[in-house]
Each structure stands twice: as C-alpha cells, then as structure tokens.
Structure 1
Amino acid sequence: MKKINLEMSQDQYEKLVETVFLGTWMVNSTQLELDESFEGVRNLVLSKFKEAELEDKVTYEEAFDVHDLAVDFENQLLQKYVEDYDEFSFWDKLVEKLSEKELVKEFGSLPDTLSEEMIAKRVEYEEEIGKELEERGITNLELKSK
C-alpha cells in the first residue's frame, strides 16, 4: 500500500483535526455502529496531537488505543458548526418537503424525473413557502388529521 505524507503548519493540523472530527461525526451520528474506516482515519490524524502541542484538545485512551477530542473542545465544535448546520438544514428540508407536498397535490404522484413545468412550479412553491417561513416562522403551519 502506498503511503502519503503531509507536511502542515500547526494551525493547518488543528483545522485538519476539526475537519476530521466533523466529518466523522456526520457519518457516524446517525448510525448504530461506527464506520470503522472513518474511525481509523480519525484516530490516525488525532494520533499526531502531541507533535502539534494539542494536549489540551485531544486525549488518548491507552486502554482502548483510541484518540479523542477533549469534551470541551468537542462541545465547542458542535456548537460552532453543527448547531448552525442543523438549523439551516431543518428549514431547507422543510421548504423542500412542503413544496413537494404541494406538487403532489397539483400533479399527483411525481415521476423520478420532473418535467420542466413541474420544476418551475417547485421553484415557485419553494420561493413562496420560504418567504412565508422566513416572515412568520412555523406559526402558520398546521397539522390536519384526516
């Protein structure tokens, strides 16, 4: 197997640690079992923490041979990136799903590939719904039981 070596500054290494943590978190956060290929890369990257003088941000559990982020640093990254991402994704996905619901009402069951008319209508619905949600939040949303 070919080996790849990287040279980077301490700041670049710290960004790599953050990137690897966030990527691994994204992959594994919804899984029952960890994706070991991602975990292996994460552990490899974090294993250089002493060289980068990041003892305050990375820990090593010798009993399990696992490197991990310090709890405070992990929480800081989750707050800084994941909470904003979740908030944005929620609204984006909500607009998408509500627009799709309107399309189904208008056109019936949707094909895998939308026609130009359907795409134009979807964009129209997304703009309309997005504007409404931006102005009023979820106060006008209703759940109707049948």
Structure 2
Amino acid sequence: MKKVNLEMSQEQYEKLVETVFLGTWMVNSTQLELDEAFEDVRSLVLSKYKEAGLEDKITYEETFDVHDLAVEYENELLDKYVEEYDEFSFWDKLIEKLSEKKLIKEFGPLPDSLTEEMVAKRVQYEEEIEKELEERGLTNLNLKA
C-alpha cells in the first residue's frame, strides 16, 4: 500500500482535526454501527495531537486505545457548525417537501425526471413557500392527519 505524508502547520492540523471530526460525526451520527474506515482515519489524525500541541483539545484513553476530542472542544464544534447546518437544512428540506406536496396535488405522482412545466412550478412553489416562511415562520403551517 502506498503511503502519503502531509506536512502542515499547527493551524492546518487543527482544521484537519475539525474536518475529520465533523465528517466522521456526519457519517456515523445516523448509523447503528460505526463506519470503521472513517474511524480509522479519525484515529490516525487524532493520534498526532501531541505533535501539534493540542493536548488541551484532544485526549487519549490508554485503556481503550482511543483518541477523542475533549468534551468542551467537541461541543464547541457541534454548536458552531452542526447547529447552523441543522437549522439551514431544516428550512431547506421543509420548503422542498412542501413544494413537492403541492406538485403532487397538482400533477399526481411525480416521475423520476420532472417536465419543464413541473420544474417551473416547483421553483414557483419554493419561492412562495420560502417567502411565506420568512414572513410568518411556522405560524400558518397546518398539519392534517
């Protein structure tokens, strides 16, 4: 197997740690079992923490041979990136699903590939729904069982 060596600054290494943590979190957060390939990369990257002087942000549990982010650092990253991502993706997905519901109501079951008319309608619905949600939030949203 061919090896790859990277040389980076402490700041670059810290961004790599953040990137690997966030990527691994995204992949594994919805899974019952961890993706070991991602975990192996995560472990390799975190194992270099002493070389970068990040003892305050990364810990090593010798008993389990596990490197991990310090709880405060992990929470900081989750608050900084994941919360914002969740907020953005929630509204984006809500608009997408509500416009899809309107399309189905108008055109019936949707084909895999939308017609130009359907795409135009979808864009129109998304713009209308986005404007409504921006102006009124969820106050006018009605759920019917």
Would you call these one fold, judging by a TM-score over 0.5?
A: yes
Give the partner amino acid of 1:69.
Answer: L
Q: How many residues align?
A: 145
State the secondary structure of the residue aligned to 2:30: coil
1:64 matched to 2:64? The reply is yes
Please give the alpha-carbon distance, in whole angstroms, between the structure 1 residues aligned to 2:44 and 2:123.
44
2:43 aligned residue: 43
- What runs of 5+ residues in structure 2 fail to find an aligned partner? none
1:74 aligned residue: 74
| Superposition RMSD in Å | 0.5
State the secondary structure of the residue aligned to 2:59: strand
Please give the alpha-carbon distance, in whole angstroms, between the structure 1 residues aligned to 2:30 and 2:123.
30
Please give the alpha-carbon distance, in whole angstroms, between the structure 2 residues aligned to 1:96 and 1:80.
25
If the length of structure 2 is used for normalisation, what is the TM-score?
0.99
After the TM superposition, which residues 1-146 of structure 1 pair with which residues of structure 2 at under 5 Å, given as runs?
1-145=1-145
User: How far does residue 64 in structure 1 lie from its aligned partner after superposition?
Assistant: 1.3
Please give the alpha-carbon distance, in whole angstroms, between the structure 2 residues aligned to 1:141 and 1:105.
17
Give every structure 1 segment of 4 or more consecutive aligned residues whose post-TM-superposition deviation is greater than 3 Å.
none
If the length of structure 1 is used for normalisation, what is the TM-score?
0.98
Give the partner amino acid of 2:98.
Answer: L
Please give the alpha-carbon distance, in whole angstroms, between the structure 1 residues aligned to 2:47 and 2:122.
48
Give the partner amino acid of 1:116.
Answer: E
Give the partner amino acid of 1:57.
Answer: K
User: How far does residue 35 in structure 1 lie from its aligned partner after superposition?
Assistant: 0.4
State the secondary structure of the residue aligned to 2:33: coil
- What runs of 5+ residues in structure 1 fail to find an aligned partner? none
Q: Deviations over 1:41-84 (max 9, x none)?
A: 00000000000000000001111111100000000000000000
State the secondary structure of the residue aligned to 2:68: strand
Please give the alpha-carbon distance, in whole angstroms, between the structure 2 residues aligned to 1:136 and 1:21.
36
Please give the alpha-carbon distance, in whole angstroms, between the structure 2 residues aligned to 1:36 and 1:124.
43
Q: Deviations over 1:102-123 (max 9, x none)?
A: 0000000000000000000000
State the secondary structure of the residue aligned to 1:3: coil
